[in-house]
Amino acid sequence: TPGTARNEFRDEHYRRLAFADKTFGRGLPFQGGKTDRGRIYIALGPPLDVQRYMSPEAVPMELWTIRGQPGLGQMSTLQILFYQRGGAGDYVIYNPVANSPKDLVQTPRRGQKEPEDPEDWDEWDKGAMLVLRDRMLLDVMRMTGGAERGVYRQQTSIMLAEVQANPQRRASADYALAILEHRPVVDVSYSVKHIGNRTAIAVLEDGSGTPFLHYVLVPETVSLDRYGDRYVTELRITLRLADATGATVFQQEKSVPLDLRPEELKRLQASSFQYYDAVPVIPGKWLLSILLENTVSKEFTSVGKTIEVAAPDGPAMSPLVLARRVFKDAPAEAATRAFQVGRLQLYPSVNNVFPEKQPFFAFLQLRGLTSALKEKGAITFVLSGDGKPLWSVRRTLREYADPGTVIEEISVAGLAAATYQLRAGLADESGREILAAQTDVRLTGEAVPGVWVSALPLPPAGDPAIDFMLGTQALNAGRIDAAVSSLAKAARARPDNIEYAVGYARALLAAKDPSKARDVLLPLVEAKEAGFDFFEICHAELGEKDKALAAWKKSLAIMPNQEAIKARILEIR
């Protein structure tokens, strides 16, 4: 806390360490701060409530209710279940994805699985749920995720990973320093410095079939500093994708400088500032985090959302994207922008609010279309209010220039300001609906502000930067074959790019091919392209122990606290 002699944050941290070691380390061969309960206590503080369960048929359990940290993207209240594995030893965290109900009972019995039960449960898990039910352990039953099926289990698993990864996130130093720099502001005056936002997010394929995560982020306000007759600031945007365990799969940081003249400031004040961006993304279910910081005012806003990128094995439809404006002649050959599909540039609404009496546009993307669907399939748009159809249009896919890119102008003539529902349905050649998407639309009689768009250009289709980003994600996700393939393409397209070469070498090492990894890196070293001492990373894998020791010693001289490297040195010695 500024202005005090004490370091309150440090004092509280050491108080928690001491409490955890004393309370959770009894009878254990290691410190209490290294137990699951100790780590959670140190990271999040004392629980608001603890419910303890002791039963002859169930293992000892504790259900903690904890105050979350919204500034870190957490809910305001969290619940975590701890249990003694096998009924003895230390309490460990129950994860509904990694664990199952039979872990929570001493003597499970068989039960009859039902269709709505999670697929990975067996008859013993079902029987364990019956034991928990008979003992009236309803809160524990809820924590297993059985009642809410897969969605709750996935959300809980992601939440647990995020909470446990907060102290040691795999992030760049700049990102960590930025968070630390703002942490006192977040903790002390969160309601003052945090600003709200609105977002629109969609996963769309480019012309080559690569999925891109498109998003527009609209901060509640943009503060500027004044220098003479100029108004300036710099926005820093950090995007992160993580898997269900909380491990970082991809991270990207960009800076957007704003330098406005007085007349431009007036336009911005009368408009909604909107930041557009997109990144290629590999298939999977990811936790998306976006942090926007105003480096001048120290204001920040954040977005957290789970996204799913599917690799369709049949026809698929994107969610509806609604827009007030559409530009149908965007350049498709050069670099593109977010929410551009071919020659179509969308300016999506972030809240689906449109002026009454003015038409708007609905966009969706169709993938995996068969020849029959392209030839005889049809799409129907219906706008309804209070469950009654008020406007509709039906078109065959042949009527669109690209059957997979559907854009339709939605008429709202004669409709009053209110909330409506827009539905799009795809029918096959027999007229049977096979896919559908729906969203709410609100018409308003109030003036809707204009938009001020900031959008950095994206690499064009086929650019090696896209292969590098996809390969990096695949490598971090453990998909080694896909990583080697994508990173090889990037490195071959730009043989003088050190970052691409190192990425490719990392993938080859993961694929257990150190000799080829060295072949990739050596030309750069010999040509002095790196501009610094480039220590090889392949010696140990090739059995060259002396060279490995020399490289590791140099690494420790630069960064001493690398326990894994110290262990490898001792191993070789």
Please report the pLDDT score of residue 186 as a whole number.
37
Cα–Cα distance, 181 to 174 (Å, whole number)? 10
Please report the pLDDT score of residue 540 as a whole number.
55
- Say if residue 108's pLDDT is above 80: no
- Lowest mean per-residue pLDDT among 110-119, 205-214, 294-303, 470-479: 110-119
Please report the pLDDT score of residue 335 as a whole number.
55
Cβ atoms of residues 294 and 485 within 8 Å: no
Cα–Cα distance, 154 to 129 (Å, whole number)? 19
Cα–Cα distance, 354 to 357 (Å, whole number)? 9
Please report the pLDDT score of residue 526 as a whole number.
67
Buried b (16+ CB within 10 A) or exposed e, 481-493: ebbbebbbbbbee
Q: What are phi and psi of 38, to 5 degrees?
A: -65, -45
Query: What are the DSSP calls for 427-488, one per residue?
Result: E-TTS-EEEEEEEEEEEESSPPPEEEEEEPPBPPTT-HHHHHHHHHHHHHTT-HHHHHHHHH
Count how many Cα atoms sit within 13 Å of the Cα of residue 221 in the half-sphere of its side chain: 10
Judge residue 151's burial from the number of C-beta atoms within 10 Å of its C-beta, 0-12 exposed, 13-18 middle, 19 or more buried.
exposed
Share of the chain above pLDDT 70, in %: 85
Share of the chain above pLDDT 90, in %: 36
Please report the pLDDT score of residue 542 as a whole number.
58
Please report the pLDDT score of residue 191 as a whole number.
31
Mean pLDDT over residues 141-164, rounded? 64
- Say if residue 158's pLDDT is above 80: no
Cβ atoms of residues 423 and 244 within 8 Å: no
User: Does residue 507 or residue 121 have the better pLDDT?
Assistant: 507
Helices (H), 322-388: 371-376
Mean pLDDT over residues 331-342, rounded? 76
The first and second tokens of residue 521, run together, are 């890196």
Closest CA to 498 of 467, 519, 529: 529
Please report the pLDDT score of residue 378 as a whole number.
96
- Say if residue 171's pLDDT is above 70: no
pLDDT band of 181, cuts 50, 70, 90: very low
Cα–Cα distance, 514 to 518 (Å, whole number)? 6
Tens digit of each residue's pLDDT (9 = 90 or more) over 423-480? 999 999 999 999 999 999 999 988 878 888 888 888 887 889 999 999 999 999 999 9
Tens digit of each residue's pLDDT (9 = 90 or more) over 247-288? 889 999 888 888 888 888 888 888 889 999 999 999 999 999
Cβ neighbour number for residue 93 with a 10 Å cutoff: 19
Residue type present at position 140: V
Mean pLDDT over residues 287-293, rounded? 90
Mean pLDDT over residues 150-172, rounded? 60
pLDDT band of 74, cuts 50, 70, 90: low
Highest-scoring range by mean pLDDT, 27-31, 150-154, 532-536? 27-31
Please report the pLDDT score of residue 477 as a whole number.
94
- Say if residue 184's pLDDT is above 50: no
Average pLDDT, whole number, for the chain?
83
Please report the pLDDT score of residue 537 as a whole number.
52
Please report the pLDDT score of residue 170 as a whole number.
39
Cα–Cα distance, 438 to 425 (Å, whole number)? 9
Cα–Cα distance, 78 to 99 (Å, whole number)? 19
Tens digit of each residue's pLDDT (9 = 90 or more) over 527-553? 655 444 444 455 555 567 777 787 778
pLDDT band of 152, cuts 50, 70, 90: low
Please report the pLDDT score of residue 299 as a whole number.
82
- Say if residue 243's pLDDT is above 80: yes
- Say if residue 409's pLDDT is above 90: yes
pTM over 0.75: no
Mean pLDDT over residues 17-27, rounded? 85
Query: What are the DSSP calls for 17-80, one per residue?
Result: HHHHHHHH-TT-SS-GGGSHHHHHHHHH-S-SEEEEE--SSB--EEEEEEE--GGGT--SEEEE
- Say if residue 155's pLDDT is above 80: no
Cα–Cα distance, 171 to 179 (Å, whole number)? 11
Highest-scoring range by mean pLDDT, 86-90, 190-194, 420-424? 420-424
Please report the pLDDT score of residue 532 as a whole number.
41
Please report the pLDDT score of residue 543 as a whole number.
65
The DSSP bridge pattern shows strands 344-348 and 321-327 to be antiparallel
- Say if residue 187's pLDDT is above 80: no
- Say if residue 343's pLDDT is above 70: yes
- Say if residue 573's pLDDT is above 70: yes
Please report the pLDDT score of residue 365 as a whole number.
94
Please report the pLDDT score of residue 266 as a whole number.
85
Q: Is the dihedral of CA 59, 62, 63, 68 positive or negative?
A: negative
Please report the pLDDT score of residue 121 as a whole number.
81
Please report the pLDDT score of residue 3 as a whole number.
63
Please report the pLDDT score of residue 528 as a whole number.
55
Please report the pLDDT score of residue 531 as a whole number.
45
Cβ neighbour number for residue 113 with a 10 Å cutoff: 15
